[in-house]
Amino acid sequence: MILMDKVTKDKISIKRPMLVISAFVTGAAALCALGAPLWATLAAALATCIILAFVRKSAAVPLTAALLAVFTALSYTSAEKRANALAERYDGVETEITGVVRDRPQIYENREVCVIKTKDLGLVQLTRYGARADTPSAGDRVCLRVTLSAPKSAKNGYGFDNRSYLYSRKIYLAATDEGPMKIESGGVTPMSLAARAQSAAVRTGERLLRGDALGLYCAVVFGDKRHTDAELKTALTASGLSHIASVSGLHLSIVSVVLLTLLSLLFGRGRAGLAAAICGAVAFTLVTGASSATVRACIMTTLYLTAKLLYRDSDGLSSLGAAVSAMLLYNPMLILGASFQLSALATLGILMFVPLWQPRLAALPMVFRAPAELVLVSLAAQIGAFAALAAHYNGFALYFIPANLIVVPPLSIALPMGLMLPLLGRIPLLGGLWARLCEALFGFIALTAKRIAALPFSIVSLGRPSAPLIVSYAALVLTLYLICTKRRAMAAAFAVCAVLAGGAGGLMIHAENSRATLTFLDVGRGDCAVFCLPGGKTVLIDGGKSGHEIRDFLEGRGVARVDAAVVTSASREHIGGIISLASDGMIETLCLPKSIVAGPEAAELLAEAAENGVRTATLGDGLYVASLRLRPAGENDGTAIMAEYGGCKILFCADGYTEWEPCAIVKAPNHGVGKYNYINEINRSHPSFAVISGLKSARERCAYLAPLLNSGAEVRITGEGGAAVFDLSGAEPTMIK
């Protein structure tokens, strides 16, 4: 690969000043992202600076690095304050916004998503639902009435973190439209030109390609994933090929090699070709959407080619340090983004281990050397990015090496062919033939991903790693590197650190698995609660409307199958997620109250259960799972359910009037709305906690909120504070989140 050429084999040390600077900047951003106070981050930078200055006998590099770390911490804190101020002022506000569409809107089956640059609010992500005839283009000036909202973190602690994703793009507010959009044609900018070029290329693909080939063409070549269906995305993830559907350093390396080869044929191996290759790399980055992974690769490629222009040797680790430092100085919140973390760590793994192991491949015959190098690069990238993969995707693709061996060679041909399709596709006969060749290559890649994903144990589920486990893994990677560089004393020290951190992480996991918790997930206007019991038992009460939130939660805990699922109401906001899980066979036993079984609304759920081998039962006198007992506690628009664990009672009210029994926790009825104030029920039950599963507006609309607060109960609204988590292991339940 181009970025690996002439990587030096020197030891990683402070002799490379960019590594010191990037370490300081990254550390400052990471500490801020983990919630460390500003003074602690600044103190850590100062202390490290003093230590390095003492060791190095020169303060120039450590002092510069410390000053940049301070700047990073201040920038992160400033951005966080602005995000909080905007959330406090505009969350839930309906207003009119005016701005410029920054990039081409992404159009899905039921919605259109774009980013608007406004004067007062900064960047706003706009989502418009339904079919639209007035789709704007990049660079257009728009005006419309919207409802603003502050992007929330993952609705549980384990799934996709929407707030972190938006923050990494400098977006602090989201919006949904409340009326028609006024569109005025805007001026021409580099980003608008790039977006129009991308749009034209995608339209060519839509005209000439079909199915999975179209989805991969748009995603792999131009960074547009709206034609990639859920089945293909799942197959790419399970086969370890998800990186090919996100434009990254691999893609830019292939494009750069092709460009340099063509330009050397046209201009020779002179400076003109190198300068043109730099321009081509920048243009490719802009046209594909300038994701953080592509920007990182573009910076490194530019530094490499610039070194060639100046007749200098390039150093991959220093280039990576420069790219990471520049990106985090521009936007420290990039540290939150999964794309940035995976790209930087995978590249670090390649630059650390490939130069050490590559010489050993020189003795292999030529026919085996290229596959062996591809295996080596894939393995080194996985070593570097494994912790981030576990943290963000909660799984590990077991067959990633054979998958990459099969797919990367045809990808290196399909990518440049896809780039030429918008031009050649306009030529009669040749365009059709070229399209068929592209379709065959991309179709082969999609078929390979699906076949590998269908193999047994293709993906290993992983729980979200705790901080000690991440530290332990980092220490193990450093231990491996130090062993390879024959520094055994330091390797032994890091090995001890890895064992200690791993032990602490293991104790945390044991403590987590040995306690019983109840989590009320934030599913908007809907209900979903999960019991996680000792011994790995999982019981679900309702599933929300779509099931996305409960899937994220279960995947984050490494749960592939729910032991029992109970439904309190047949309305979609209770039963929709259960239908989704049942359709995938993720429920072992489905337990329905008699009133719901007899009703017509449960027919779809029962049909999905029967088709996918899910056992069904009627909640009659009760259901027992481990030490948890569930029983009916009243009938109205649904069935209220009383859960008993140890000495703790939890009442799940349905959507109508329910007489409350004495309990420690009550899930309030009807999402906080309704004509009943439940004063008598509150006085009778004396709950310690009450959870309202609803939107933020429930605080103003709830008729019985005041009586609950006056009774001394602690009230949690999921739409306002996120998921509510209770520890049921003690004599009394305690709220832990």
Residue-wise pLDDT tens digits, 632-643: 887 776 788 888
Same domain, 556 and 680: yes
Distances (CA, A) of 502 to 170, 179, 505, 515: 35, 54, 5, 20
- Residue 464: phi and psi, rounded to 5, are -65, 120
For the cut 60, the answer to whether the pLDDT of residue 621 exceeds it is: yes
C-alpha to C-alpha distance for 223 and 598, rounded to whole angstroms: 49
* pLDDT-based confidence at residue 390 (cuts at 50, 70, 90): confident
* Mean pLDDT, range 13-34, rounded to an integer: 83
433 in a domain, yes or no? Answer: yes
pLDDT in the model for residue 25? 92
691 in a domain, yes or no? Answer: yes
Helix (H, G, I), strand (E, B) or coil at 174: strand
C-alpha to C-alpha distance for 144 and 126, rounded to whole angstroms: 10
- Which of 167, 187, 207 is the last residue in one of the domains? 187
* pLDDT-based confidence at residue 512 (cuts at 50, 70, 90): confident
Same domain, 183 and 69: no
Contact 643, 667 (CB under 8 A): no
Same domain, 138 and 270: no
- 3-state SS record for 578-624: HHHHHHCCCEEEEEECHHHHCCHHHHHHHHHHHHCCCEEEECCCCEE
711 in a domain, yes or no? Answer: yes
* Mean pLDDT of the residues in the chain: 84
pLDDT in the model for residue 160? 67
* pLDDT-based confidence at residue 2 (cuts at 50, 70, 90): very low
* pLDDT-based confidence at residue 300 (cuts at 50, 70, 90): very high
* pLDDT-based confidence at residue 413 (cuts at 50, 70, 90): very high
pLDDT in the model for residue 698? 67
* Mean pLDDT, range 337-362, rounded to an integer: 90
For the cut 80, the answer to whether the pLDDT of residue 347 exceeds it is: yes
124 in a domain, yes or no? Answer: yes
pLDDT in the model for residue 15? 55
pLDDT in the model for residue 349? 93
- Which of 44, 66, 88 is the last residue in one of the domains? 88
104 in a domain, yes or no? Answer: yes
Same domain, 312 and 457: yes
Q: Which residues contact 458 (CB under 8 A, 6 or more apart)?
A: 238, 239, 397, 398, 399, 452
Would you state the structure tokens that stand for residue 591, as one six-digit string? 């337990």
pLDDT in the model for residue 624? 85
pLDDT in the model for residue 428? 85
Q: Which amino acid is at 571?
A: S
Same domain, 145 and 212: no
Least confident of 20-24, 120-124, 247-251, 675-679: 675-679
Dihedral angle sign, alpha carbons of residues 128, 134, 135, 138: negative
pLDDT in the model for residue 696? 65
Contact 696, 666 (CB under 8 A): no
Least confident of 71-75, 121-125, 544-548, 725-729: 544-548
C-alpha to C-alpha distance for 176 and 689, rounded to whole angstroms: 33
Q: Are strands 562-566 and 587-592 parallel, antiparallel or unpaired?
A: parallel
Would you state the structure tokens that stand for residue 223, as one six-digit string? 């960074």
Same domain, 141 and 65: no
Same domain, 537 and 646: yes
Least confident of 611-620, 660-669, 685-694, 726-735: 611-620
For the cut 50, the answer to whether the pLDDT of residue 5 exceeds it is: no
* pLDDT-based confidence at residue 167 (cuts at 50, 70, 90): very high
For the cut 50, the answer to whether the pLDDT of residue 13 exceeds it is: no
Residue-wise pLDDT tens digits, 236-294: 888 888 888 888 888 888 888 888 888 877 776 777 888 888 888 899 998 888 889 99
Contact 199, 289 (CB under 8 A): no
Question: Between residues 501 and 702, which one has the greater pLDDT?
Answer: 501
pLDDT in the model for residue 426? 86
- Which of 478, 513, 548 is the last residue in one of the domains? 513
Same domain, 493 and 551: no
169 in a domain, yes or no? Answer: yes
Residue-wise pLDDT tens digits, 437-479: 999 999 999 999 999 998 988 887 776 777 888 889 999 999 9
11 in a domain, yes or no? Answer: no
* pLDDT-based confidence at residue 10 (cuts at 50, 70, 90): very low
Where in the sequence is the domain holding 121, given as residue range(s)? 91-187
* pLDDT-based confidence at residue 367 (cuts at 50, 70, 90): confident
Contact 378, 401 (CB under 8 A): yes
* Tally of domains in the chain: 5
262 closest CA partner among 280, 247, 248: 280
Share of the chain above pLDDT 70, in %: 93
Same domain, 564 and 645: yes
pTM score over 0.75:
yes
Same domain, 443 and 490: no
Give the CATH number for residue 115. Answer: 2.40.50.140
pLDDT in the model for residue 14? 40
pLDDT in the model for residue 180? 83
Look at the block and give the residue holding tokens 């790419």.
236
* Mean pLDDT, range 507-528, rounded to an integer: 82
Would you state the structure tokens that stand for residue 257, as one six-digit string? 């090699």
Helix (H, G, I), strand (E, B) or coil at 302: helix
Contact 450, 406 (CB under 8 A): no
Helix (H, G, I), strand (E, B) or coil at 312: coil
The alpha carbon of 651 is separated from its chain's Cα centroid by a whole number of angstroms, namely 34
For the cut 50, the answer to whether the pLDDT of residue 673 exceeds it is: yes
For the cut 80, the answer to whether the pLDDT of residue 582 exceeds it is: yes
Same domain, 538 and 481: no
pLDDT in the model for residue 705? 81
Contact 596, 639 (CB under 8 A): yes
Same domain, 50 and 166: no
119 in a domain, yes or no? Answer: yes
H or E element at residue 209: none
Greatest mean pLDDT range, 189-193, 213-217, 257-261, 639-643: 213-217
